[in-house]
Structure 1
Amino acid sequence: MKYFSLLMMGLIACIQGLSAQQKAEPWTPAQLMAPAVLADAITHQKDGNLLILSVGPGAIIKNSIDIGPASDAESLAKLRQVLKTTDKNKEVVIYCGCCPFDKCPNVRPAFKTLTEMGFKQARLLNIEKNVKVNWIDQHYPTQK
Protein backbone atom coordinates (compact mmCIF):
# COMPACT_ATOMS: atom_id res chain seq x y z
CA MET A 1 0.00 0.00 0.00
CA LYS A 2 2.89 2.35 0.79
CA TYR A 3 4.35 1.87 -2.70
CA PHE A 4 0.95 2.35 -4.29
CA SER A 5 0.57 5.72 -2.53
CA LEU A 6 4.04 6.79 -3.68
CA LEU A 7 3.26 5.66 -7.22
CA MET A 8 -0.01 7.62 -7.25
CA MET A 9 1.66 10.77 -5.89
CA GLY A 10 4.35 10.48 -8.56
CA LEU A 11 1.76 10.00 -11.28
CA ILE A 12 -0.21 13.04 -10.11
CA ALA A 13 2.97 15.14 -10.07
CA CYS A 14 3.79 14.07 -13.64
CA ILE A 15 0.30 14.91 -14.87
CA GLN A 16 0.42 18.32 -13.21
CA GLY A 17 3.86 18.94 -14.73
CA LEU A 18 2.63 18.07 -18.22
CA SER A 19 -0.42 20.27 -17.76
CA ALA A 20 1.77 23.20 -16.68
CA GLN A 21 4.04 22.70 -19.71
CA GLN A 22 1.08 22.71 -22.08
CA LYS A 23 -0.15 26.02 -20.64
CA ALA A 24 3.29 27.65 -20.87
CA GLU A 25 2.97 28.83 -24.47
CA PRO A 26 0.86 31.92 -25.22
CA TRP A 27 -0.45 30.36 -28.47
CA THR A 28 -2.64 27.35 -29.14
CA PRO A 29 -1.90 24.69 -31.77
CA ALA A 30 -4.70 26.22 -33.89
CA GLN A 31 -2.79 29.52 -33.93
CA LEU A 32 0.27 27.95 -35.56
CA MET A 33 0.54 28.45 -39.32
CA ALA A 34 2.48 26.00 -41.47
CA PRO A 35 5.13 27.65 -43.67
CA ALA A 36 3.60 26.01 -46.77
CA VAL A 37 0.24 27.69 -46.04
CA LEU A 38 1.80 31.15 -45.80
CA ALA A 39 3.98 30.53 -48.87
CA ASP A 40 0.89 29.52 -50.85
CA ALA A 41 -0.97 32.66 -49.77
CA ILE A 42 1.94 34.87 -50.83
CA THR A 43 2.58 33.02 -54.11
CA HIS A 44 -1.08 33.11 -55.16
CA GLN A 45 -1.56 36.69 -53.91
CA LYS A 46 -4.08 35.61 -51.27
CA ASP A 47 -2.20 37.61 -48.65
CA GLY A 48 -4.20 40.84 -48.98
CA ASN A 49 -5.76 40.44 -45.54
CA LEU A 50 -2.50 39.26 -43.96
CA LEU A 51 -0.03 41.34 -42.02
CA ILE A 52 3.28 39.48 -41.88
CA LEU A 53 5.69 40.70 -39.21
CA SER A 54 9.27 39.65 -38.62
CA VAL A 55 10.00 39.84 -34.90
CA GLY A 56 13.52 38.49 -35.29
CA PRO A 57 16.80 39.67 -36.77
CA GLY A 58 15.49 40.49 -40.27
CA ALA A 59 12.53 40.38 -42.65
CA ILE A 60 13.29 37.44 -44.96
CA ILE A 61 9.76 36.48 -46.01
CA LYS A 62 8.24 38.35 -48.95
CA ASN A 63 5.86 41.17 -47.96
CA SER A 64 6.90 41.00 -44.30
CA ILE A 65 7.65 44.06 -42.19
CA ASP A 66 10.82 44.13 -40.12
CA ILE A 67 9.94 44.91 -36.51
CA GLY A 68 13.25 43.80 -35.02
CA PRO A 69 13.92 41.30 -32.23
CA ALA A 70 10.89 41.38 -29.92
CA SER A 71 13.09 40.54 -26.94
CA ASP A 72 14.19 44.20 -27.20
CA ALA A 73 11.97 46.89 -25.63
CA GLU A 74 12.40 49.24 -28.62
CA SER A 75 11.24 46.56 -31.04
CA LEU A 76 8.21 45.75 -28.87
CA ALA A 77 7.34 49.45 -28.87
CA LYS A 78 7.62 49.45 -32.69
CA LEU A 79 5.35 46.38 -32.80
CA ARG A 80 2.74 48.15 -30.68
CA GLN A 81 2.98 51.23 -32.92
CA VAL A 82 2.38 49.15 -36.08
CA LEU A 83 -0.48 47.24 -34.47
CA LYS A 84 -2.14 50.36 -33.07
CA THR A 85 -3.47 51.29 -36.51
CA THR A 86 -4.21 47.72 -37.64
CA ASP A 87 -7.73 46.27 -37.77
CA LYS A 88 -8.15 43.78 -34.89
CA ASN A 89 -9.82 41.32 -37.29
CA LYS A 90 -6.86 41.26 -39.68
CA GLU A 91 -4.87 38.05 -39.69
CA VAL A 92 -1.45 38.89 -38.24
CA VAL A 93 1.35 36.37 -38.73
CA ILE A 94 4.55 36.75 -36.76
CA TYR A 95 7.80 34.88 -37.24
CA CYS A 96 11.38 35.03 -36.08
CA GLY A 97 13.31 32.12 -37.52
CA CYS A 98 16.54 32.60 -35.58
CA CYS A 99 16.11 29.17 -34.01
CA PRO A 100 13.35 26.68 -33.11
CA PHE A 101 10.64 28.72 -31.41
CA ASP A 102 10.76 26.59 -28.28
CA LYS A 103 14.13 28.31 -27.69
CA CYS A 104 13.32 31.65 -29.33
CA PRO A 105 13.47 34.79 -27.15
CA ASN A 106 11.40 36.83 -29.62
CA VAL A 107 8.14 35.04 -30.44
CA ARG A 108 6.64 34.90 -26.93
CA PRO A 109 6.74 38.63 -26.14
CA ALA A 110 5.49 39.44 -29.65
CA PHE A 111 2.65 36.91 -29.52
CA LYS A 112 1.61 38.05 -26.04
CA THR A 113 1.51 41.62 -27.33
CA LEU A 114 -0.77 40.56 -30.21
CA THR A 115 -3.23 38.83 -27.91
CA GLU A 116 -3.11 41.56 -25.24
CA MET A 117 -3.98 44.12 -27.93
CA GLY A 118 -7.05 42.05 -28.88
CA PHE A 119 -6.08 40.56 -32.25
CA LYS A 120 -8.53 37.76 -32.96
CA GLN A 121 -6.54 36.13 -35.76
CA ALA A 122 -3.04 36.11 -34.27
CA ARG A 123 -0.80 33.47 -35.87
CA LEU A 124 2.72 32.21 -35.29
CA LEU A 125 4.57 30.81 -38.27
CA ASN A 126 5.49 27.25 -37.31
CA ILE A 127 9.23 27.35 -37.99
CA GLU A 128 10.50 24.10 -36.50
CA LYS A 129 14.24 24.68 -37.03
CA ASN A 130 15.02 28.11 -38.49
CA VAL A 131 14.03 30.36 -41.37
CA LYS A 132 16.79 29.02 -43.63
CA VAL A 133 15.73 25.37 -43.31
CA ASN A 134 11.98 25.90 -43.10
CA TRP A 135 11.60 28.77 -45.58
CA ILE A 136 14.61 29.60 -47.76
CA ASP A 137 15.64 26.00 -48.46
CA GLN A 138 12.01 25.24 -49.43
CA HIS A 139 12.24 27.97 -52.11
CA TYR A 140 9.37 29.89 -50.56
CA PRO A 141 9.03 33.59 -51.52
CA THR A 142 11.62 35.93 -50.00
CA GLN A 143 12.20 39.69 -50.04
CA LYS A 144 14.13 40.99 -53.05
Structure 2
Amino acid sequence: MKNKKISFVILFAITIIAFAFTKFPFQNGNDPWAEKQLMTPADLAKILNDSKSKQPIILSIGFGGGIKGSIEMGAAKEKEGIKNLKKELTKLPKDADIVIYCGCCPFEHCPNIRPAFQLLNEMKFTNHKLLNLSHNLKTDWIDKGYPDK
Protein backbone atom coordinates (compact mmCIF):
# COMPACT_ATOMS: atom_id res chain seq x y z
CA MET A 1 0.00 0.00 0.00
CA LYS A 2 2.83 2.37 0.88
CA ASN A 3 4.53 1.73 -2.49
CA LYS A 4 1.29 2.57 -4.32
CA LYS A 5 1.06 5.92 -2.51
CA ILE A 6 4.67 6.74 -3.33
CA SER A 7 4.14 5.74 -6.96
CA PHE A 8 1.03 7.92 -7.14
CA VAL A 9 2.85 10.93 -5.66
CA ILE A 10 5.75 10.52 -8.11
CA LEU A 11 3.38 10.14 -11.06
CA PHE A 12 1.43 13.20 -9.94
CA ALA A 13 4.63 15.26 -9.61
CA ILE A 14 5.79 14.21 -13.09
CA THR A 15 2.39 15.17 -14.51
CA ILE A 16 2.54 18.63 -12.90
CA ILE A 17 6.08 19.23 -14.19
CA ALA A 18 5.17 18.10 -17.70
CA PHE A 19 2.12 20.38 -17.69
CA ALA A 20 4.21 23.35 -16.57
CA PHE A 21 6.68 22.84 -19.43
CA THR A 22 3.93 22.62 -22.05
CA LYS A 23 1.94 25.53 -20.60
CA PHE A 24 4.95 27.88 -20.47
CA PRO A 25 7.28 26.83 -23.32
CA PHE A 26 9.12 30.16 -23.36
CA GLN A 27 10.47 29.43 -19.89
CA ASN A 28 11.68 25.89 -20.50
CA GLY A 29 15.21 26.65 -21.63
CA ASN A 30 14.68 25.63 -25.27
CA ASP A 31 14.65 29.18 -26.62
CA PRO A 32 17.81 30.48 -28.33
CA TRP A 33 18.19 33.41 -25.91
CA ALA A 34 19.20 33.69 -22.29
CA GLU A 35 17.09 35.60 -19.78
CA LYS A 36 19.68 38.40 -19.72
CA GLN A 37 19.16 38.86 -23.47
CA LEU A 38 15.56 39.98 -23.00
CA MET A 39 15.06 43.75 -22.97
CA THR A 40 11.98 45.28 -21.39
CA PRO A 41 9.95 47.75 -23.43
CA ALA A 42 10.46 50.37 -20.70
CA ASP A 43 14.26 50.02 -20.96
CA LEU A 44 14.26 50.44 -24.74
CA ALA A 45 11.86 53.41 -24.53
CA LYS A 46 14.15 55.07 -21.98
CA ILE A 47 17.13 54.68 -24.34
CA LEU A 48 15.18 56.00 -27.33
CA ASN A 49 13.96 59.02 -25.36
CA ASP A 50 17.49 59.92 -24.23
CA SER A 51 19.39 61.62 -27.05
CA LYS A 52 22.65 61.14 -25.12
CA SER A 53 22.25 57.35 -24.93
CA LYS A 54 23.89 55.14 -27.51
CA GLN A 55 21.05 54.14 -29.81
CA PRO A 56 20.77 50.44 -30.68
CA ILE A 57 20.02 49.08 -34.13
CA ILE A 58 16.37 48.06 -33.94
CA LEU A 59 15.19 45.42 -36.38
CA SER A 60 11.53 44.58 -36.91
CA ILE A 61 11.34 40.90 -37.80
CA GLY A 62 7.55 40.66 -37.95
CA PHE A 63 4.82 41.89 -40.25
CA GLY A 64 5.53 45.57 -39.82
CA GLY A 65 6.48 47.54 -36.83
CA GLY A 66 6.01 50.85 -35.26
CA ILE A 67 9.01 51.42 -33.02
CA LYS A 68 10.86 54.66 -33.66
CA GLY A 69 14.00 54.10 -35.70
CA SER A 70 13.32 50.44 -36.47
CA ILE A 71 14.29 48.87 -39.78
CA GLU A 72 11.77 46.54 -41.42
CA MET A 73 13.14 43.09 -42.28
CA GLY A 74 9.93 41.23 -42.99
CA ALA A 75 8.63 38.15 -41.19
CA ALA A 76 11.55 36.01 -40.02
CA LYS A 77 9.46 32.85 -40.35
CA GLU A 78 9.60 33.40 -44.13
CA LYS A 79 12.70 32.75 -46.27
CA GLU A 80 12.61 36.30 -47.62
CA GLY A 81 12.52 37.78 -44.10
CA ILE A 82 15.51 35.72 -42.95
CA LYS A 83 17.35 36.60 -46.17
CA ASN A 84 16.73 40.33 -45.55
CA LEU A 85 17.84 40.00 -41.94
CA LYS A 86 21.02 38.16 -42.87
CA LYS A 87 21.85 40.78 -45.51
CA GLU A 88 21.40 43.59 -42.96
CA LEU A 89 23.44 41.77 -40.32
CA THR A 90 26.41 41.25 -42.66
CA LYS A 91 26.86 45.05 -42.67
CA LEU A 92 27.23 45.21 -38.89
CA PRO A 93 30.12 44.54 -36.52
CA LYS A 94 29.70 41.44 -34.36
CA ASP A 95 29.53 43.57 -31.20
CA ALA A 96 26.80 45.92 -32.48
CA ASP A 97 23.98 46.79 -30.09
CA ILE A 98 21.03 45.08 -31.77
CA VAL A 99 17.43 44.79 -30.58
CA ILE A 100 15.00 42.63 -32.52
CA TYR A 101 11.25 42.53 -32.08
CA CYS A 102 8.10 41.22 -33.66
CA GLY A 103 5.02 41.88 -31.53
CA CYS A 104 2.56 40.04 -33.79
CA CYS A 105 1.11 37.89 -31.03
CA PRO A 106 1.78 36.57 -27.51
CA PHE A 107 5.48 36.01 -27.02
CA GLU A 108 5.35 32.24 -26.54
CA HIS A 109 3.51 31.74 -29.86
CA CYS A 110 5.49 34.12 -32.07
CA PRO A 111 6.78 32.37 -35.22
CA ASN A 112 9.35 35.08 -36.00
CA ILE A 113 11.49 35.72 -32.93
CA ARG A 114 13.11 32.30 -32.60
CA PRO A 115 14.46 31.97 -36.18
CA ALA A 116 15.71 35.57 -36.10
CA PHE A 117 17.45 35.20 -32.74
CA GLN A 118 18.93 31.87 -33.80
CA LEU A 119 20.42 33.57 -36.88
CA LEU A 120 22.06 36.22 -34.68
CA ASN A 121 23.56 33.45 -32.55
CA GLU A 122 24.78 31.52 -35.59
CA MET A 123 26.40 34.65 -37.01
CA LYS A 124 28.27 35.07 -33.69
CA PHE A 125 26.81 38.41 -32.63
CA THR A 126 27.69 39.22 -29.03
CA ASN A 127 25.40 42.08 -27.98
CA HIS A 128 21.95 41.27 -29.30
CA LYS A 129 18.71 41.50 -27.38
CA LEU A 130 15.11 40.47 -27.90
CA LEU A 131 12.48 43.03 -26.98
CA ASN A 132 10.22 41.28 -24.50
CA LEU A 133 6.79 42.03 -25.95
CA SER A 134 4.94 39.39 -23.97
CA HIS A 135 1.50 40.20 -25.42
CA ASN A 136 1.94 42.16 -28.65
CA LEU A 137 3.30 45.44 -29.99
CA LYS A 138 0.06 47.34 -29.39
CA THR A 139 -0.36 46.30 -25.75
CA ASP A 140 3.29 46.33 -24.70
CA TRP A 141 4.53 49.36 -26.69
CA ILE A 142 1.97 51.54 -28.48
CA ASP A 143 -0.65 51.66 -25.69
CA LYS A 144 2.07 52.71 -23.24
CA GLY A 145 2.95 55.75 -25.33
CA TYR A 146 6.47 54.61 -26.13
CA PRO A 147 8.23 56.18 -29.16
CA ASP A 148 6.74 54.99 -32.41
CA LYS A 149 6.98 55.85 -36.08
Number of the residue aligned with 1:134? 140
> What is the alpha-carbon distance in structure 1 between the residues aligned to residue 71 and residue 122 of structure 2?
20
- In the alignment of these two chains, the number of paired residues is 142
Number of the residue aligned with 1:69? 75
**Amino acid of the residue matched to residue 24 of structure 1?**
N
> What is the alpha-carbon distance in structure 2 between the residues aligned to residue 106 and residue 99 of structure 1?
10
Distance 1:83 1:30, change over 3 A: same
RMSD of the TM alignment (CA)?
A: 1.9
> What is the alpha-carbon distance in structure 1 between the residues aligned to residue 54 and residue 108 of structure 2?
27
Q: Percent identity?
A: 41
Cα offset for 1:132?
1.0
Distance 1:108 1:58, change over 3 A: same
Number of the residue aligned with 2:112? 106
> What is the alpha-carbon distance in structure 2 between the residues aligned to residue 126 and residue 69 of structure 1?
17
Cα offset for 1:8?
2.6
Tell me if 1:4 matches 2:6: yes
Distance 1:129 1:18, change over 3 A: closer
**Amino acid of the residue matched to residue 77 of structure 1?**
K
The runs of 4+ residues in structure 1 deviating greater than 2 Å are: 5-21
Aligned partner of residue 102 in structure 1, secondary structure? helix
23-32 vs 106-115, which deviates more? Answer: 23-32
1:75-102 deviation per Cα after TM superposition (whole angstroms, max 9, x unaligned): 1011011111211111211000111111
11-20 vs 29-38, which deviates more? Answer: 11-20
Cα offset for 1:12?
4.9
> What is the alpha-carbon distance in structure 2 between the residues aligned to residue 26 and residue 18 of structure 1?
19
1:39-88 deviation per Cα after TM superposition (whole angstroms, max 9, x unaligned): 1111112243x110000111310111000110100110110111112111
User: TM-score by structure 1 length?
Assistant: 0.88
Extract unaligned runs of 5+ from structure 2. none
